[in-house]
Amino acid sequence: MKRAYDVVIVGSGVAGIAAANTLAGHGLEILVIDENPHAGGQILRQNCRVTDGFWEFDPRLGRSGRTVSIRKIVQSLRPIQRPKGITCVHQARVLGIFSDLQLLVHVPDTLYPGGSGSGRVLEIDAGYLLLATGARERCLPFKGWTLPGVMSLGAAQILMKSSGILPARKTLIAGTSPLQTVLALEILKNKGNVTAILDENHLTKKLGLLPLLKHHGSLAGEGAMQMLRLLIRQVRFRQGVRVTEARGKNGLSAVVTAGLDRKGNTVPGTFQTYPARALAVGHGFTANIELPVQAGCALDYDADRGGWVVRVDDALETSVAEVYAAGEITGIAGAGKSFVEGKLAAVSILEKLGEKTGPDVCVPELVRMQKQQMGYASFLNQLCQVPSSAYEAIDDEVLICRCEEISMGEIRKQISQGFVTGGSLKKATRCGMGRCQGRICQPLLFDILQALTGQTPEQIGSPSFRAPVKNVPLESFLHP
Amino acid sequence: MGSRVPHIVVIGGGVIGTSIAWHLAKKAARVTLIESNDLASGSSGACDGLVFMQSKKPGIHLRLAMESLKRFSDLKKELPMDIEFRQAGGRVVIQTPAEYQAMEQFVQAQQEIGLDVCLMDAKDTLAAEPFLSPDIYGSTWSPLDAQVNPIKLTLGFALGARKNHACIMTRSPVLGIHTKNNRVTGVVTTKGEMAADMVVNAAGARSGLIAQMVGIDLPVRPRRGQLVVTQATSRMIFSCMISAGYIAAKFDPSLADDAGEGMSMEQTDNGNLLLGSTREFEGFCTQNTLSGIRRIISRTTAILPALTRLQVIRTFAGLRPFTPDGLPILGPVASMDGFFMAAGHEGDGIALSPITGELVADMILGQKSAIPLTPFSLERFTTPKGQAHG
């Protein structure tokens, strides 16, 4: 591993791989850093197991100008010999970005045998930086959501994809996210059972959002096919219900739900109890903006893009010069947009470097496709959106910050004392100051503040993060 | 004063400004506190919580600190927030024979004026703090030293002030100060103008920028201090600690040649360890640096090797309001009527906030104060007879 690279790509999901493919072959030294053991990110987790080589999307992908579906992305992925000039480091984390694009990177001991076992922290200089750090799931808190057996939809998928383990013999699926059907199919494929899918969205809401999919026929088709396959397998579907409580002593044993009216408020007297050992629940996604925020990149708030996202120009450059962003961190819109943006950001960097990009690359066409793919964001994020009444209804005893064990009651109390900005509420409650550094509770705290105070996102303020954006052993700093 | 109650505007929502506002409001003064961002969003939210007596130079500085310390136990009861004040004693860790010699003299001077402090050898030190490195040379110990949660203290002062009818305006940067015939008359913020009979500059490291608005040059410079925060863990140190090098860096730079900036360690009520610190002049930059983080970690792990097992969860940096003689600037300013200073505490703002608030409030309200403020006047830097402290 060198200490300086022409381009450093953070994250090797769809956007990261697409960018690396485009940047390869220009004589550049490129470093791809990923915290997972393998490339692929969340979508291609299972498809990128071999570590020795590299991955490539079929160069014809996306050339038709039509939208790029997840299915096509998965199908066009193929293993290749690692291109000259590309270095991949896995299980490594970028802890911070400092002036002159100096990166603080924690690398595992496998790269430097004979270490302490804690890895070590290195400084890497980047000529250009491409952030493709993806997104994570979010979840509406309810009583008992910290019980063992309650997990996010993505966590249940990772259990199966990475470890080959089912969440339980029977899994209950809930929330607002389109991942519900994806997970259900994955569970059936792995010979598990789905107790039921409890979708918070009424059919009328979903139908009302369909016009947003007018340029995304293939995605709508994919969704419809998934539903059809689940119906054929006789999976129970309920719409317009929300999980209000998870019960159990040492682990989950039962889930209580309530029916919802058209506005998403729970209807009294509609409670129902399901026995369950595993509950997978998700309410959409939130962008992994910790690193760009730490680096000083400006943000925009857009509920239709999933909340706070990184502000980029048409070339995908952020407000910090030479720092580019691609994929979910510029707006939650799925793998198709990530693919196009990875490519577009790479082309922008090549143009800045004065490199010729080949006859098959057309920047205006990429920009057009990027805008088209972003259209899906409105559908996706409106579908996942939880009404503010749901945050108002959270019980006082529900833990919001799991690390510091801060309850909704404490948050309500401090809001009533006047701590109504994100920063001041964090100071008054310690919510978000714990070990996960607010990855779970910060977006929640923001939504709670919006729901309880009615302020604008700008009044509440965007989150702040400091290096190291993820925990790192103190010992790793001791080896220069 | 006539029938009209004078309006006092305090600029700065850090620990000093909120303390002054609370002390004033308690005495029924008409007070408005203005903060450009959120409360405790500057250095009061980016510092450790040491309330250390041993680190103060014998003289007016230590006297001020001792008076401040006395007030903390009352604050614990009076403020509407748990300020996590804990008087578990403090230790200055000695790492070399040369430091031991220097500390012997320092302790003697402190004992002579009645500070409860003693010198301990390595064996006694390790008996009290078993996780310290066996390589240390000894320590000095005082049962008086304490710690507090600086954010909670600031928020507690602010909530207490508001309970006593002070007006608190956050997210309101000050744009200018109106004057007439060398007298302050009002303050302009992004949210509008307000009349003011008195203005208190408690803007900490940024107090120089506020003073410039009325044509006053302050010798206050931001001196960056970086801190490293570990995960919460079971008790690893039983009292707060600084290194002898820290005292050296503070008072006698020649002694600090090898030790550099020294180090400080504190374990909060929550179990996190706060490791510090650096002393750097880098303007208003509050970024952390890799070299700063590495310096802090190598110094603290040399003294407390058990730290290496912990995770770093956060780093941050605050700006100490540095003054040339290490003492704050408190009180009226000769060239501008109605303009008062309460800034320049360097690294002692948290520890000195209770007494600062009280003294400044008393002085503004024309009441007799526990300690005269003359040694802290701004004019000590300009008048030839004003002798720089120490």
Per the document, the length of chain B is 390
Q: CA A283, CA B342: separation in Å to the nearest integer?
A: 49
Distance to chain A for B301, nearest Cα, Å: 9
Q: Could you read off the pLDDT of B207-262 as tens digits, one per residue?
A: 999 999 999 999 999 999 999 999 999 999 999 999 988 777 666 655 554 445 78
Residues on chain B touching A467 (C-beta within 8 angstroms): 288, 315
Give the Cβ contact number of residue B234 at 10 Å. Answer: 6
Distance to chain B for A466, nearest Cα, Å: 6
Residues on chain A touching B38 (C-beta within 8 angstroms): 421, 423-424, 427
Q: Which CATH superfamily is domain B90-143+221-322 in?
A: D-Amino Acid Oxidase, subunit A, domain 2 (3.30.9.10)
Instruction: Give the type of residue at B329.
Output: I
Residues on chain B touching A428 (C-beta within 8 angstroms): 155
Indicate yes or no: CB of B309 within 8 angstroms of CB of A424.
no
Q: CA B150, CA B15: separation in Å to the nearest integer?
A: 7
Please give the structure tokens belonging to residue A35: 């915290």
Residues on chain B touching A424 (C-beta within 8 angstroms): 38-39, 41, 170
Residues on chain B touching A102 (C-beta within 8 angstroms): 290
pLDDT in the model for residue B383: 63
Q: Are A436 and A399 in contact (CB under 8 A)?
A: no
Distance to chain A for B160, nearest Cα, Å: 11
Q: Most A CBs within 10 Å: which of B167, B313, B315, as the mutation test of the A interface? A: B313
DSSP-assigned letters across all residues of A297-335: --EEEEGGGTEEEE---TT-B-SSTTEEE-GGGG----H
Q: CA A458, CA A298: separation in Å to the nearest integer?
A: 13
Q: Which of B155, B293, B310 sits opposite A427 (nearest CB)?
A: B155
Q: CA B249, CA A89: separation in Å to the nearest integer?
A: 41
pLDDT band, very low/low/confident/very high, at B93 (cuts 50, 70, 90): very high
Please give the structure tokens belonging to residue B136: 């240390």
How does strand B146-147 pair with strand B167-169? unpaired
Indicate yes or no: CB of B301 within 8 angstroms of CB of A472.
no
For chains A and B, CB pairs below 8 A equal 88
Indicate yes or no: CB of B288 within 8 angstroms of CB of A473.
no
Distance to chain B for A397, nearest Cα, Å: 20
Q: CA B35, CA B13: separation in Å to the nearest integer?
A: 5
Q: Are A86 and A24 in contact (CB under 8 A)?
A: yes
**Considering just the CA atoms, what is the radius of gyration of chain B in Å?**
21
Distance to chain A for B55, nearest Cα, Å: 27
Give the Cβ contact number of residue A82 at 10 Å. Answer: 15
Beta bridge partners of B118: B141
At a CB cut-off of 8 Å and minimum separation 6, what does A310 contact?
A: A131, A287, A289, A292, A297, A298, A299, A300, A318, A325, A329, A330
Indicate yes or no: CB of A98 within 8 angstroms of CB of B293.
no
Please give the structure tokens belonging to residue A169: 């013999």
Give the Cβ contact number of residue A434 at 10 Å. Answer: 23
Judge: domain B7-45+151-219+325-381, CATH 1.10.287.130: no
SS3 B232: strand
Q: What are the residues of chain A with a beta carbon less than 8 Å away from any beta carbon of chain B? A: 96, 98-99, 102, 104, 116, 118, 121, 123, 404, 417-419, 421, 423-424, 427-428, 430, 433-435, 437, 466-468, 471-475, 477-478, 480
Which residue does chain B place closest to A480, by CA atoms? B294
pLDDT in the model for residue B258: 46
Judge: domain A139-283, CATH 3.40.50.300: no
Residues on chain A touching B290 (C-beta within 8 angstroms): 98, 102, 104, 121, 123
Indicate yes or no: CB of A424 within 8 angstroms of CB of B170.
yes
Query: For every one of its 480 residues, what pLDDT tens digit does chain A have, with 9 covering 90 and above?
Result: 899 999 999 999 999 999 999 999 999 999 999 999 888 888 888 788 766 788 999 888 887 767 788 888 999 999 999 899 999 999 999 999 998 999 999 999 888 777 778 899 999 999 999 999 999 999 999 999 999 999 999 999 999 988 899 999 999 999 999 999 999 999 999 999 999 999 999 999 999 998 888 888 878 888 889 999 999 999 999 999 999 999 999 999 999 999 999 999 999 999 999 999 999 999 999 999 999 999 999 999 999 999 999 999 999 999 999 999 999 999 999 999 999 999 999 999 999 999 988 777 788 889 999 998 888 999 999 999 999 999 999 999 999 999 999 999 999 999 999 999 999 999 999 999 998 889 999 999 999 999 999 999 999 999 999 999 999 999 999 976
Q: A32-36, B112-116, B195-199, B280-284: lowest mean pLDDT where?
A: B112-116
Beta bridge partners of A87: A31
Q: For residue B2, is pLDDT > 50?
A: no
Residues on chain B touching A99 (C-beta within 8 angstroms): 287
Residues on chain A touching B316 (C-beta within 8 angstroms): 466
Indicate yes or no: CB of B231 within 8 angstroms of CB of A104.
no
Instruction: Give the type of residue at A20.
Output: A
Residue A158 has phi, psi (to 5 degrees) of -60, -40
The mean of the pLDDT values for chain B is 92
Pick the CATH number of A394-460 from 1.10.10.10, 1.10.1040.10, 1.10.10.1100, 2.40.50.140: 1.10.10.1100
Q: What angle do CA A335, A339, A341 make, to 5 degrees?
A: 115
pLDDT in the model for residue A6: 98
Q: CA B334, CA B383: separation in Å to the nearest integer?
A: 11
Q: At what angle do helices A179-189 and A217-232 cross, to 10 degrees?
A: 50
Q: CA A147, CA B6: separation in Å to the nearest integer?
A: 57
B277 upstream amide cis, omega within 30 of 0: yes
Instruction: Look at residues A367, A384, A389, A375 and name the one whose alpha carbon lies nearest to residue A136.
Output: A384
pLDDT in the model for residue B253: 57
Tell how far CA A350 is from the center of its chain.
27
SS3 B47: coil
CA dist list (Å): A456 to A69, A408, A421: 34, 21, 10
Q: Are B52 and B262 in contact (CB under 8 A)?
A: no
| Per-domain residue ranges of chain A | 4-136+286-381, 139-283, 394-460
**Can you tell me the mean pLDDT for B287-295?**
91
Which residue does chain B place closest to A418, by CA atoms? B159
Kindly report each contact of residues A431-436 with a partner whose C-beta sits within 8 Å and lies 24 or more positions away, as own/partner.
A431/A400, A431/A401, A431/A404, A431/A406, A432/A401, A432/A404, A432/A463, A433/A403, A433/A404, A433/B314, A434/A401, A434/A402, A434/A403, A434/A404, A434/B232, A434/B313, A435/A403, A435/A471, A435/B231, A435/B232, A435/B311, A435/B313, A436/A402, A436/A403
**CATH number at A4-136+286-381:** 3.50.50.60
Please give the structure tokens belonging to residue A57: 């999307």
At a CB cut-off of 8 Å and minimum separation 6, what does A381 contact?
A: A284, A303, A304, A305, A306, A332
Q: Which of A417, A418, A435 sits opposite B231 (nearest CB)?
A: A435
Q: CA A81, CA A118: separation in Å to the nearest integer?
A: 31
Beta bridge partners of B93: B139, B243
Q: For residue B315, is pLDDT > 90?
A: yes
pLDDT band, very low/low/confident/very high, at B390 (cuts 50, 70, 90): very low
Q: Could you read off the pLDDT of B24-41 as tens digits, one per residue?
A: 999 999 999 999 999 999
Indicate yes or no: CB of B301 within 8 angstroms of CB of A437.
no
* Greatest pairwise CA separation for chain A in angstroms: 67
Q: Do domains A4-136+286-381 and A139-283 have the same CATH topology?
A: yes
Q: Would you call B138 exposed, middle or buried from its count of C-beta atoms within 10 A (0-12, 13-18, 19+)?
A: buried
Instruction: Look at residues B137, B147, B146 and name the one whose alpha carbon lies nearest to residue B103.
Output: B137
Indicate yes or no: CB of A474 within 8 angstroms of CB of B294.
no
pLDDT in the model for residue A127: 98
pLDDT in the model for residue B1: 44
Q: Within 13 A of B147's CA, how many CA atoms are on the CB side?
A: 24
Residue A474 has phi, psi (to 5 degrees) of -55, -35
Indicate yes or no: CB of B313 within 8 angstroms of CB of A468.
yes
Handedness of CA A97, A99, A100, A104 (dihedral sign): negative
Beta-sheet strands, E only, within chain B? 7-11, 30-34, 50-51, 90-94, 118-121, 138-142, 146-147, 167-169, 174-179, 184-189, 192-195, 198-201, 221-232, 240-243, 264-267, 272-276, 311-322, 329-333, 336-343
Indicate yes or no: CB of A423 within 8 angstroms of CB of B311.
no
* Reduced DSSP (H G I as helix, E B as strand, rest coil) percent helix, strand, coil of chain A, to 5: 35, 25, 40
Q: CA B230, CA B272: separation in Å to the nearest integer?
A: 5
Which residue does chain B place closest to A475, by CA atoms? B308
Residues on chain A touching B230 (C-beta within 8 angstroms): 474
**Terminal Cα-to-Cα distance of chain A (whole angstroms):** 15
Q: Within 13 A of A54's CA, how many CA atoms are on the CB side?
A: 24
Q: CA A144, CA A134: separation in Å to the nearest integer?
A: 28
Residue B201 has phi, psi (to 5 degrees) of -90, 100
pLDDT in the model for residue B254: 57
